[in-house]
Structure 1
């Protein structure tokens, strides 16, 4: 089933990002019928593969639609869920589900200094768009712990490129970042994406193109593009 789901997702540039089996006694979200799920298959992207598929979909939607990428993801993943008898969930669903914890279990990843999970192939240029919840166990390959590239990175350029030092070992200074992106000196961030994220030396062949990064920055800052 996992191979069939992966093939269905590929039609829209999405990929199967591994899965999680919920152990007996573990608190698990509900599946399609309302019973506790036994498996979750994570769905996401590597690089910007979904972008052209999303743009074609968006051409037929009102330009005023709120959160269009989220809406597209829900529609695509929802159709796959319906085809395979699963419940589709999104990282933006409330109450929030522990997507990052699921991802660390599914792919053996660890957070980078920016909070984004570091992938040994994709670097910081990947995302999770949703998950399929099943009330039965889904067979998946065993996933060991991935090499954490941040451990080998001595200089940590991702902590040195932001003009307002929004990221540090103490965490993310959200308000400082937002004020800078919205301000007179924030054009490089608005048009090309987060400078700290772009400074990471890993996974650069998967780096989102500037227009994709600008789209996400507009969504974050709520500044008109």
Structure 2
């Protein structure tokens, strides 16, 4: 795993969890170990920003970059790559994240990662034929988080403990002048998680994702993003 982690880091990626899938996990056939990959902050964004995909003006540059980089890792390690954009049917990345033992439901309902906090994201997965040894999973972080600042930080109450995500309230805020802080630097509630501070995510990366989120809103009330 250390050699694979080093190979991923060289491409701006980090290993964010792994598990040995069973028949009900939706992994590719004959997968011995499924490994989740996310951005290796803060190195990830400069590498992507300097890539051909970021400069060519075509649609979905980050998805295309991810497929090129993770696809190359899959070839080198004789595995298969899977991506959240594959589908339909869509690969069950949220299920895989929880099966890895490193992502847990937070008070907001979003997944929280043991080191990336609420800023966890997955660019893809490697399905390897060999069954690699894996470390013991960590404890869920939220029960020991004394103040749980993620539950009180959203300026419009769109993300609250025990309540569904109010997408419409969030989007109205993002479309307003008051929403510049979230729009330009990323969701305040997700950034408030103490573990999120580990990522040192660049503002340009946050703005890129938030711009896509704002652009893709249908304007309809209700629903989950």
The equivalences for 1:113-192 within 5 A come to: 113-134=107-128, 136-144=129-137, 146-168=138-160, 169-192=162-185
Closer, same or farther in 2 for the Cα pair 1:6/1:201, shift >3 Å? closer
C-alpha separation in 2, matches of 1:202 and 1:27: 28
Asked if 1:42 is matched to 2:36, the reply is yes
TM-score (norm 2): 0.83
What is the total number of aligned residue pairs between the two structures? 214
> Aligned match of 1:111 in 105, 109, 116?
105
Structure 1 consecutive aligned stretches of length 4 or more whose deviation exceeds 4 Å: none
- Residue 29 of structure 1 aligns with which residue? 27
- Contact 1:46/1:125, CA 8 A, preserved across alignment: no
Unaligned runs of 5+ in 1: none
Quick check: 73-82 or 90-99, which moved more?
90-99
Closer, same or farther in 2 for the Cα pair 1:141/1:27, shift >3 Å? closer
Unaligned runs of 5+ in 2: 217-225
Closer, same or farther in 2 for the Cα pair 1:108/1:163, shift >3 Å? closer
Closer, same or farther in 2 for the Cα pair 1:62/1:170, shift >3 Å? same
Shift of residue 103, structure 1, vs aligned partner? 1.9
Q: Deviations over 1:101-125 (max 9, x none)?
A: 2222224331223444323333233
- Residue 193 of structure 1 aligns with which residue? 186
Closer, same or farther in 2 for the Cα pair 1:202/1:85, shift >3 Å? closer
